[in-house]
Amino acid sequence: MNAQVPSWAGVATSAALVVVCVLVVWRQRLGLSRDVLVAAVQAAIQLVAIGAVLLLLFRHTGLPGAIGWLALMVVIAGQVAGRRARGLPQATWIATAAVGVGTAATLGVLLATGVIAIETRVVIPVGGMVVANAMQTAALVLSRLREEARTARPAIEARLALGLPAREAFAPHHRSTLRYALIPAVDSTRVVGLISLPGAMTGLILAGVDPLTAIRYQIVVMYMLLAADALAALIAARLSERALFDQAHRLRQVATP
């Protein structure tokens, strides 16, 4: 057994930390005790199930299985991000497209150039990081654009009445939304390694890789996440603009979530 990896007994022992959380929630009368317990149990079951699935993928399916698994992740991510923007037309489809393009473009370039090995056990975890970050960025863009379309409707319609096309009338809100969505990615990149050791680097160090070797992989991952976030944000914003305006450049009604 690898001494660096906790045993199942160690995992069971760590469950005491969940009890600490439950006690804090109970003592403060937050009404979340049951939610914490359900979330902890659900997380454990999901991770065990995913571990079993990944074991099968690594041993039997090869790269096609990895691509299929990533596609499934993109679909799920699109559903999650789309739910964050209920009321925005075609939110789920837009989110799925944004996450898919951001993931395929960045991961595809690194695989094609040989920067990342074309192996199932590499493609799935690295691709999963990209999908997760692109999902969060797409969700931020869609939810912010929904609110902009609702709260800034008079200003947008005033620009349309002056003869501006839909894209120009919506441009100030487009730019502010992209800035809002990308600031977290930029900030996390700026302080990487200073506040916390990121996931890829931490995993490699725990696996016994030299820190100076681990940072090379982490730098590649951080740059990939930046590009994926930017592409996902841009695609989500552009597709949302098309969904928000009709052929006559009129702003559609945005339903209250």
pLDDT of 55-70, one tens digit each? 888 888 888 888 999 9
Please write the tens of the pLDDT for every residue from 91-106. 999 999 999 999 999 9
- Give the pLDDT of residue 106: 94
Is residue 6 domain-resident?
Answer: no
Nearest Cα residue to 90 out of 227, 248, 246: 246
What is the band of 116 on the pLDDT scale with cuts at 50, 70, 90?
confident
Residue 116 located in a structural domain = yes
pLDDT at 219: 87
The predicted model gives 138-162 an average pLDDT of 89
The count of structural domains within the chain is: 1
| Nearest CA-CA partner of 37 in 22, 23, 27, 48 | 22
* pTM metric for this prediction: 0.82
- What average pLDDT does the segment 195-206 reach? 73
Q: Does the residue 57 lie in any domain?
A: no
Q: What is the pLDDT of residue 196?
A: 65
| 27-41 tens-digit pLDDT | 888 888 999 999 999
Please report which helix (H) or strand (E) contains residue 172, including its range.
helix 166-190
Strand, coil or helix: 245: strand
Distance CA 249, CA 73 (A): 34
Q: For residue 201, what are the contacts with CB-CB under 8 A and spacing of at least 6?
A: 193, 211, 214, 215, 217, 218
Within a domain: 89: yes
pLDDT at 255: 67
Backbone Cα Rg of the chain: 22
Q: Identify the pLDDT of residue 182.
A: 92
Across the range 117-130, mean pLDDT stands at 87
- Average pLDDT, integer, range 6-22: 88
Confidence of residue 205 (pLDDT cuts 50, 70, 90): confident
Angle between the 120-151 and 62-83 helix axes, to the nearest 10 degrees?
Answer: 20
Q: What is the pLDDT of residues 163-180, one digit of tens each?
A: 888 889 888 999 999 999
Residue 222 belongs to a domain: yes
**18 within some domain:** no
Whether 217 is covered by a domain: the verdict is yes
CATH number (domain holding residue 124): 1.20.1640
pLDDT at residue number 1:
44
Neighbouring C-beta atoms of residue 79, cutoff 10 Å: 13
What's the pLDDT at 257? 61
Residue keyed to tokens 């698994």: 69
Please report, rounded to a whole number, the percentage of residues in the chain having pLDDT higher than 90.
38
Residue 107, domain extent: 62-244
Q: Residue 42 has what pLDDT?
A: 93
Residue 43: inside a domain, yes or no?
Answer: no
φ/ψ of 85, rounded to 5, equals -120, 40
- The angle, 0 to 180 degrees and rounded to 10, between the axes of the packed helices 120-151 and 211-244 is 40
Report the chain's mean pLDDT, rounded to a whole number.
87
